[in-house]
Amino acid sequence: MTYVSLDPAPKAFDQRKRLIVVRIAAVVAIALLLFGKPGLTEGSEHEHIELLGFILILICVGGRLWSILYVGGKKNDELISMGPYSMTRNPLYFFSTLGAVGAGLMYGSLLAAVALGLASFVVFRVTARKEAEYLLGKFGPAYRAYAQRTPRFWPNPLLFRDQAEWRFSTHALKRTFYDGLYFLAVFPAIEVIEYFRASGILPTLFTLY
């Protein structure tokens, strides 16, 4: 079900703050990955962990595209409570966190996977709380009822509901697809880093287990 508010709403949460934090965290993560050696570099364990990371990234990209079909172009204007939004109030943040964990696993480091996943979870949790305050002020009882039955972050598949037809924004879908390419670029980027490290071009300053 979709709710549209006709009442004046409070000022929406400034997403630029979140983007700044995410970009700073990304720069730090890239620096660590460039000069740190993964604890698992070869053997079946590395292959299995790398495969798991790749699967998580695919789920991340697919989940984000699925979510944007429902909310693209309507975020903060309508209260979406169907599809992925019937299982969690923040499916985009949930799937993005899975992608961050997957990136760490593809690198070959459990520590990197936990650190990236935890950092993403903290940033998105703070953002989700700010957005919830805005949506509560805009939609009032409708959002309160939605929040009471729907988890903030971790999805509950048993709550899934949908409807036969849905309007979506092709522009938002295209933009999310391009964003997903950053996650998919992790694999070739890590392969290049491993090549440079093996060639002695990149120094190894520490090991990430």
**pLDDT band with cut points at 50, 70 and 90 for residue 6:** very low
The answer to which of 131-135, 138-142, 153-157, 172-176 has the lowest mean pLDDT is 172-176
Q: Are 131 and 66 a contacting pair, CB within 8 Å?
A: no
Q: Tokens standing for 67?
A: 């979510």
Mind listing the domains of the chain with CATH numbers? 43-199 (1.20.120.1630)
Nearest CA among 98, 88, 75, 59 for reference residue 153: 88
pLDDT at 163: 80
Q: What is the mean pLDDT of residues 25-30?
A: 68
Work out whether strand 2-4 and strand 78-80 pair parallel, antiparallel, or are unpaired: antiparallel
Q: What is the pLDDT of residue 195?
A: 78
- Write down the pLDDT at residue 20: 65
Nearest to 139 by CA among 188, 75, 51: 75
Question: What is the reported pTM?
Answer: 0.80
pLDDT (tens digit per residue) in 87-146: 999 999 999 999 999 988 888 888 888 988 998 899 889 889 988 998 999 899 999 999
Residue 32's CB is within 10 A of a number of other CB atoms, namely 18
* Nearest Cα residue to 191 out of 92, 102, 108: 108
